[in-house]
Every structure is written in C-alpha cells, then in structure tokens.
Amino acid sequence: MKLNGKSRSSVIITIVAPLVFTSYLTLAEDTQPLGPKETLGQLKGKRIIAVQDYPHDKTNPLDQFGWPEVNKPTTEYDRNYPKRLKNYFGVELIKVDFPELDATMKSIDKEKATEIARTWVADARTVENVSNGLLEKNATLYLSLKKLLEKYDGDAISVTTWYFSGHMNPKGAQLELKLPMSILELSKEHVPSSCQCHIDCLTTMLIGKLLTGGYMGFDGDVLNEGVFKPIGKRPENAVVIAHCGAPINPHGTDRMSYYIRDHVDPPGCAPTYDWPEDEPVTLVKFDVYRKKMSVFTGRALDGPALYQDFDNAICRNKVVVQLDNPDSSYLLPVDPEEGAFRDWFGSWGCHQVLFYGDWKETFEQFAELAGFQIVE
C-alpha cells in the first residue's frame, strides 16, 4: 500500500484510527539556539538518568564495548567516566536500578496510561499488530520515566530495556517492554532519551538540543548501507542510522507522521516515522572519556524509495545519509559487502547522533571552547 506517496509493505492492521495529525508543536518556552559559551553554562547542573541494573557498576558498556562487556567487572573506564562528564560539562550521571523502576511502574494511575495510549492511536495513521493492552503498558513505562525525571530533577533519561528483557541478563527477563513509545512522548517535551543507556549519545543529544534551539537528536546504530537491497542504483558513500526508538520532532517544533507497529524484538512496539528527505544532516558524537568529538555532514535520502522493504529491515526507524566528505569519514565500511553492522569504530562505539541541519561549525566551536579534540 502507499502512505504519503511512499511505498510500504502490506501488513495486517489490527487498529485503524482517524488521522488527527498536528503539524507543529507550540514550545513551552521560546527556544532559541544558544552560543557555545551559553551552552556550556546551561549544561552545568544537568542530570542524565541511566536506568540499569548490571551485576557491576558499569558506565556506557553497550555503546562503547558491546554486549560481552555488560556483565564484566567494573573498569577504570566505568569509574572515571562520571567524574570526567561532570568535570568537562558539569553534567551529573544518576544511576537507577530495576527495583526502583518496577516500584514506580506499579504506582502509575492506569487511567492516565490509558489516556496516553489513546492519544498515540489517535495521532497515528494506523496501528499494526499491536494490542491496546501493550500500548497501555508502554504508556505506564513512559509515566514512570516522567516520575523518575521529576524525582531526580533529570534532563535526559535512558533504560537498558533489551537487557531487562533478558538479553545477557543473569536474572532473565524482568521487563517485557521497550522504549520507543516513551522516546516519542518524551521528545514532545524536549527531553532527550534513547535505549540502552548510551551516555555519550545522551550527552551529545543534550548539547545539540541547546546549540540548535530545540532540535532533537536521533541516537542510532551506524549500519552498512550495502546490506539493504536496492530498488535501482545504490547511492554512493551512504550509511544508515537506525534504531527502533526516535524523537517525533527532529526540527524541534514539528511532528513527523507515523504509524505504530511491532518492535523488532517482540514483545514491544514502536512508531515508524516518515523522515524528512533531501535535507542536510549532521552526524555528531562526543567521546567524553577521551575528550574528543567527531562531526560529519551529509544529506538525508528517501530510504523507502531506494531500498526494497526498507521499513521492515532491521530497526523500525532508519535515515539514509549520503556523506559530504566520505574520504575523511570513519563511518564508511572498508568493504561495503560485509555484514549488517560495522565493527566498533575505535573508541567511538557503534552509535552516532543525527541532527537535521548543517550544524558542523556550531558543534566545532563548542568543542573547541570545551577543550575537546575535533575529528572530522
């Protein structure tokens, strides 16, 4: 079937709702881009909440080192990272364990959760292969995160939902929910959020939100474009940024059209957005531990028009980025025919944060002021 002029694969529709789509949000406050000095000042006192419950006190293990690291003993990286985050930016890392999240979820008003779930259904074009009960559980998770943000005066939040659902978890499955619907709702309030407690990415999202005046960053894996089957000619020098969860408002005041569907790792659900195409984008990441920042620009391409069954391949949200300066970017694979996921990019981990717009010079000015080495 075709949605908004783009080809989409036909799937069984369990719920169909009328479209009550609002094109633009009204921000709670007049948000304007801040200069590097103002941004550095605004960061002081900010708090990132990481909801995790590893056997040892880990920091940023999944992004930096991958799944084999999550159950290993604490390292110097784990111990020193929070100190450096606070020293460089004035940002505090707050770790919350699963029992506290679980207790918070049990305290949520069911009627409020039902109301939010109904709003998601009303705003979506369709809801496919997802029950009302599952949406209400996701709304309960969102309201729980809101409570934790209020309790700890937090400014960004993440949850290791894959770990809690049993991936590499010695305790087995503790929470059969994922984060995409919470990310959607939190982004409306301009609260950066992503799954798996990628602290470098959350820090980057906080910085970018201030520098851009409210643009919301998309934290995603960097995928090898070569694993997607093209409809015609492949674009040159392209990568794919992909995660199931993403903000609804990449320009800060907009709302992308979306439909709700099953998560790539069931049980779970996620929105799939119609991402803006043919626009400049910036891929950026702060490596807090090593005091470095990498930044690349490119152009967002129309993924569903380029690749077969694009929506259903790997993650639920994907943006194809054609890089402006491919020769200098570590993001491109050495061999485009190899594997869906790249090997780790040295110290950069396997994720990047995508911001719509060309913000390269802005990020470079901030990094220089903060004393970060710039990699481009």
Cα four-point dihedral sign 128, 129, 130, 133? positive
Residue 363 located in a structural domain:
yes
Residue 4 located in a structural domain:
no
Alpha carbon distances (Å) from 218 to 67, 72, 347:
21, 28, 20
**Per-residue model confidence (pLDDT) at position 199:** 98
Q: Does the pLDDT of residue 376 top 50, yes or no?
A: yes
Residue 13 located in a structural domain:
no
Residue 366 located in a structural domain:
yes
If one counts every other C-beta atom within 10 angstroms of the C-beta of residue 67, the result is 12
What is the residue range of 314's domain?
A: 33-375
**Per-residue model confidence (pLDDT) at position 334:** 66
Q: Does the pLDDT of residue 18 top 80, yes or no?
A: no
Report, as an integer, the average pLDDT of 85-106.
98
Q: Sheet of 92-96: strands edge to edge?
A: 92-96, 47-51, 156-159, 193-195
Residue type for position 285 = K
E-only strand ranges, the chain: 2-3, 6-7, 15-16, 47-51, 92-96, 126-127, 156-159, 193-195, 218-224, 238-243, 258-262, 269-273, 279-287, 292-301, 317-323, 351-356, 373-375
Residue 181 located in a structural domain:
yes
Residue 21 located in a structural domain:
no
Residue 25 located in a structural domain:
no
Residue 18 located in a structural domain:
no
27-31, 48-52, 198-202, 243-247 — which is least confidently predicted?
27-31
Report helix angle 36-43 to 360-370, nearest 10. Answer: 60
Report, as an integer, the average pLDDT of 2-25.
34
Q: How far is residue 183's CA from residue 63's CA, in Å, rounded to a whole number?
A: 18
For the whole model, what pTM was predicted? 0.91
Q: How far is residue 120's CA from residue 182's CA, in Å, rounded to a whole number?
A: 11
Number of domains composing the chain: 1
**Per-residue model confidence (pLDDT) at position 330:** 86
Q: Give residue-wise pLDDT tens across range 113-131.
A: 999 999 999 999 999 999 9
Q: Give residue-wise pLDDT tens across range 266-313.
A: 889 999 999 999 999 999 999 999 999 999 999 999 999 999 999 999
Contact 131, 14 (CB under 8 A): yes
Confidence tier at 347 by pLDDT (50, 70, 90): confident
43-52, 60-69, 70-79, 366-375 — which is least confidently predicted?
60-69
Confidence tier at 194 by pLDDT (50, 70, 90): very high
